[in-house]
Chain A
Amino acid sequence: SQQGEEDPQALSIQEGENATMNCSYKTSINNLQWYRQNSGRGLVHLILIRSNEREKHSGRLRVTLDTSKKSSSLLITASRAADTASYFCATDAGDYNFNKFYFGSGTKLNVKP
């Protein structure tokens, strides 16, 4: 079974609002990453947070990581129509020797103009 699971499965908001999506995973990790995918195309890397970090920012993105709860959240502030996409978290299952990721089923974000 997949390591990471995102919640909610779908999210619809108005432009300018904030979007929050969550990810839960099952085993200890080295890193957790968030990716964006537009309309079934390639994945775009957004941000990587290491297991010893609690929060990380990149532009309008804010990611938190709680290793005790095995969960992460991605916050997109002041959303734009161009943010409409599917968002996936990916974990490495704690084995640093492999560049192997486990993905959840994603959160489908729709930002209405």
Chain B
Amino acid sequence: DAGVTQSPTHLIKTRGQHVTLRCSPISGHKSVSWYQQVLGQGPQFIFQYYEKEERGRGNFPDRFSARQFPNYSSELNVNALLLGDSALYLCASSFQAEAGFSHFGPGTRLTVT
């Protein structure tokens, strides 16, 4: 079975631009979470979606938004990019909404110049 997939793998954006990152969960998984990992640090929780509803939100500004589609894939949108948004963005999927282990994708490396 395919694991969690993310696209694109890498991208470079300019300050002030907007970016959309995509995630496809493992087949049958209904929960998708997004994490931001700045270089040298551990991942930080951004959002969790389950059955197309937002279940949790981390301490990120409103420039960050996400949604989940009927096929359970998800998009993370970031507006008005700042240099500090440069990071590895990780998507994780799980079957259940509640606490338990998740399968992580390979991540999207975003560089903001």
Contact = CB atoms under 8 A, between A and B. Distances in A.
A33 B103 CA distance: 12
Contact of A42 (B40, B56, B97, B105): B105
B104 interface: yes
Q: Using C-beta atoms within 8 Å of the partner chain, give the interface range for chain A.
A: 20 to 34
Interface of A: 2, 4, 30-31, 33, 35, 40-45, 48, 88, 92, 95-106
Interface string B71-99: 00000000000000000101010101111
Given A43-B43, A99-B48, A105-B42, A31 B100 contact: yes
B99 A31 contact: yes
Contacts of A30: 99
Contacts of A106: 42
A43 B102 CA distance: 10
Contact of B41 (A33, A35, A42, A105): A105
Given A100-B99, A102-B45, 20 more contacts: A35-B104, A40-B37, A41-B106, A42-B4, A42-B107, A43-B104, A44-B104, A48-B100, A95-B99, A97-B55, A97-B99, A98-B48, A98-B99, A99-B92, A99-B94, A99-B100, A99-B102, A101-B35, A103-B42, A105-B41
